[in-house]
Amino acid sequence: MNATASASFDEMVEPDGSVRAAYAGYNAWYEEQDKDWLRRQNEEAELFFRRTGITFNVYGDNAGEERLIPFDMIPRIVTAAEWRKLSRGIEQRVRALNAFLHDLYHRQEIVRSGRLPERLLRDNAAFLPEMVGFTPPGGVYTHIVGIDLVRTGPDDFMVLEDNARTPSGVSYMLENRETMMAMFPELFTRVNVRPVQDYPRRLAKSLAACAPPACNGRPVVAVLTPGIYNSAYFEHAFLADQMGAELVEGSDLRVVDGRIAMRTTRGYEPIDVIYRRVDDEYLDPLSFNPASALGVSGIMDVYRAGGVTIANAPGTGIADDKAIYSFMPEIVEFYTGEKPILQNVPTWRCSEAESLKYVLDNLKDVVVKEVHGSGGYGMLIGPTSSRAEIAAFEKKLRAHPENYIAQPTLSLSTVPIFTKAGLAPRHVDLRPFVLVSPDGIDITPGGLTRVALKKGSLVVNSSQGGGTKDSWVLED
């Protein structure tokens, strides 16, 4: 996915150089500001992030290294009308995902109908037999969902991928807004922006509404973290603190009288809802990886007996599978009876001979992704790869075509970032966050905008040099 800024839809500036309606209010304010003062504010923002400790741990070649996620102070702005359309599409997709997961772990009507190949479930590590025949409390599988969106034109938003397992990044969305309001309080009196600061309260309320049958009284909510060495530990601690929930590790928990209980100064006390940030494989050493020290022995038995709610439900990772993603238009239509409001990025399934041939013939022009990959790893961006890199990837693709999907090069939209030389366009995506409970679907206005800070680059992941922005949804 590589494009030049000139070929892309610019979200702030029209082709004739005039400012688009979404940015009119912000641009009027920006033009009035002293640019030296703005540069100082930009430096102050970085110091704020360092003081707050907003970092992530790096995996791979630089494992263990802590990095600051770069923050850009020019907001990404969406109009109220654009957001209404996006919200309808996001809600439709999330409803379909939840219905799909229920069906997969029960009658598998979509497989029986011939709309989804059974091979996508067979031998798929993300499909958990332990969930077959079980319905989570309230019928909710995907309590927190992140839908990654890209924009290619004025009315063209597409879903790049679904994050139904443990979507991350919401703490950066909240800290970006807090930073902007601290640096530019008068700006928010000039431009009416929908608030996001109440997300932790809404998250706590949504999770509490999913309490299990065994809950007696006010639900007790806890965040289960793998610990301080996890790349997203800052977020786990941040959300627990903001929700007024307990932050626990597996070693703090045990099964007591058929409930999951946490160690306190008053002994072990039961927990009703666990917002887990531990992968399925490590959740219960009795059911999954016996070597895991991150989870709780017996938690799956308690879960299936109605003694605790696990958010998100184990087994939701099957909906993150990029081969499954390629069937999402059919999945949405199958469960909602409606055409998808938000389109997928066109996708070739390399497991299919004809698609594989096309991808192999066009590797220099396409993006190839691992079916189970995430974070920008395990992928080939054809237009920016060397001949040697393409040749090496071709061998992997020929050996295991079923492990890959491919997508065309997209001309992603750009928004301005602040540089010493002034504003400059960079490519972005958007991850709105969605809360699901028996009470309904709650979509936070905006989400996390990730930005590729290098000119021409489309790699927005923080682990690969991307940054973040505050995302504004304008009030009507």
CA angle 273/275/277 to nearest 5° reads: 150
Residue 461 pLDDT exceeds 80:
no
Distance (Å, whole) CA 470 – CA 476: 19
pLDDT band at 21 (very low <50, low <70, confident <90, very high): very high
pLDDT tens, position by position, 256-287? 999 999 999 999 999 999 999 999 999 999 99
Residue with tokens 């009876």: 337
Tell me the CATH number of domain 346-409, given options 3.40.50.300, 1.50.10.100, 3.40.50.720, 3.30.1490.270. Answer: 3.30.1490.270
Enter the pTM of the model.
0.92
Contact 9, 154 (CB under 8 A): yes
Q: Compare 464 and 148 and report the one with higher pLDDT.
A: 148
- pLDDT of 113 reads 97
In a 13 Å sphere around the CA of 13, the CA atoms on its Cβ side amount to 14
207 is written with which tokens?
């999770």
Residue type, 277: R
SS3 303: helix
**Structural Rg of the chain based on CA atoms:** 22
- pLDDT of 58 reads 41
Query: What is the average pLDDT across 206-220?
Result: 97
Contact 412, 150 (CB under 8 A): yes
Residue type, 207: L
Distance (Å, whole) CA 120 – CA 114: 12
What percent of the chain is modeled with pLDDT above 90?
Answer: 80
pLDDT tens, position by position, 48-105? 877 776 655 444 444 445 567 889 999 999 999 999 999 999 999 999 999 999 999 9
**Element of type H or E holding 275:** strand 273-276
Query: What is the average pLDDT across 189-208?
Result: 97
Residue 200 pLDDT exceeds 60:
yes
Residues 6+ apart with CB under 8 A from 30: none
Distance (Å, whole) CA 222 – CA 325: 31
> What is the dihedral sign for C-alpha 402, 289, 126, 378?
negative
Terminus-to-terminus CA distance in the chain, angstroms?
Answer: 34
**Element of type H or E holding 468:** strand 467-473
SS3 36: helix
Residue type, 415: V
**Element of type H or E holding 239:** helix 233-243
Domain spans, the chain:
346-409
Residue type, 249: E
